[in-house]
Chains A and B, each alone.
Chain A
């Protein structure tokens, strides 16, 4: 018989739960908690939204000028040259 998970522990382990990072026993304990705790279900939905925000709202476009400079660099990549130093 495994002890039930309280809200504190469920919240603390939420992202790990979503990441599939918990072992089977702990995953099941959090899942059981979420089956009846509405408040923690809200936390789960929010954690999912937050992960989505990180994925979709950190877009960065490569500016044309930078692309051109780096493509010129790539065109010469592998030619016999002296090693360039770090800035």
Chain B
């Protein structure tokens, strides 16, 4: 099918290109954080979709959020199968988990006066990104949009076309999973020297 991209007026084309240029670093970062696909391909396909639906953008000020929604939906279309797959961790094991409590109990830095802050400080940018990508895609998307991109829970619900209550519950599970994966990753990668908890039988060392 031929595209509708040629239908844009020159002024619209210029406005879209300017918007795309301005938002490029953020869209690329968002694509990398969502993960699971080639980020450049995702950005380009999203921009093509944006081009085709440019007439639906009434206010250029809303352009960044509009592009975020398009990119997120394109990513969801591409990952549709993965988004439906059940978690590796069964629901009953995915119950309440408090990283705060487990740090206190395991006390990986016994001489520290700022134990919890020190544990978080052990995670580099690379480590945090690795942990984020261990969170299943359908939870990761909520974490990324809410806590990294900074949209409100209501806005995330609009972007994902889900009821706000569903998104709140998705966010709750996402946070729990993120905390659980942080602890697991710390144990497996030896991030907290001397920490033994977090190791799961059958999982090997993670080289980083």
Q: Which residues of A contact B (CB under 8 A)?
A: 8, 11-12, 15-16, 19, 21, 42-43, 45-47, 49-51, 53-55, 57-62, 66-67, 69-71, 73-75, 77-84, 86-87
Instruction: Evaluate whether A79 and B28 lie within 8 angstroms (CB atoms) in the complex, with A15-B175, A49-B116 already known.
Output: no
Is A70 in contact with B3, judged by CB distance below 8 angstroms?
no
Contact of B116 with A74 in the complex, beta carbons under 8 Å: no
Complex CA distance for A42 and B153, rounded to whole angstroms: 24
B83 located at the interface, meaning its Cβ lies under 8 Å from any Cβ of chain A in the complex? no
Does A80 contact B125, Cβ atoms closer than 8 Å? no
> Does B160 belong to the interface (CB within 8 Å)?
no
Partner of B100, one of A42, A73, A77, A86: A42
The 7 closest A-B pairs by CB, nearest first: A80-B6, A78-B13, A83-B3, A60-B29, A57-B128, A54-B147, A46-B100
Structural contact, B128 and A70, CB atoms closer than 8 A: no
Q: Which of B43-51, B185-193, B197-205 contacts A (4 or more CB under 8 A)?
A: B43-51
Q: Give every chain B residue within 8 A of A51 (Cβ-Cβ).
A: 147
B116 and A62 contact, CB distance less than 8 A: no
Flag if B25 contacts A86 (CB, 8 Å).
no
Size bin of chain B's contact surface: 35 or more
List 7 contacting pairs A-B, 8 Å CB cutoff, sorted by A.
Answer: A15-B175, A46-B99, A46-B100, A58-B125, A60-B33, A60-B129, A87-B38
CB contact between B120 and one of A43, A50, A78 (< 8 Å): that residue: A50
Binding stretch for chain A, among B14-22, B55-63, B84-92: B14-22
Residues of B close to A43: CB separation below 8 A:
98, 100
Query: Which residues of B, 121-164, contact A by the 8 Å Cβ criterion?
Result: 123-125, 128-129, 132, 143, 146-148, 150, 153
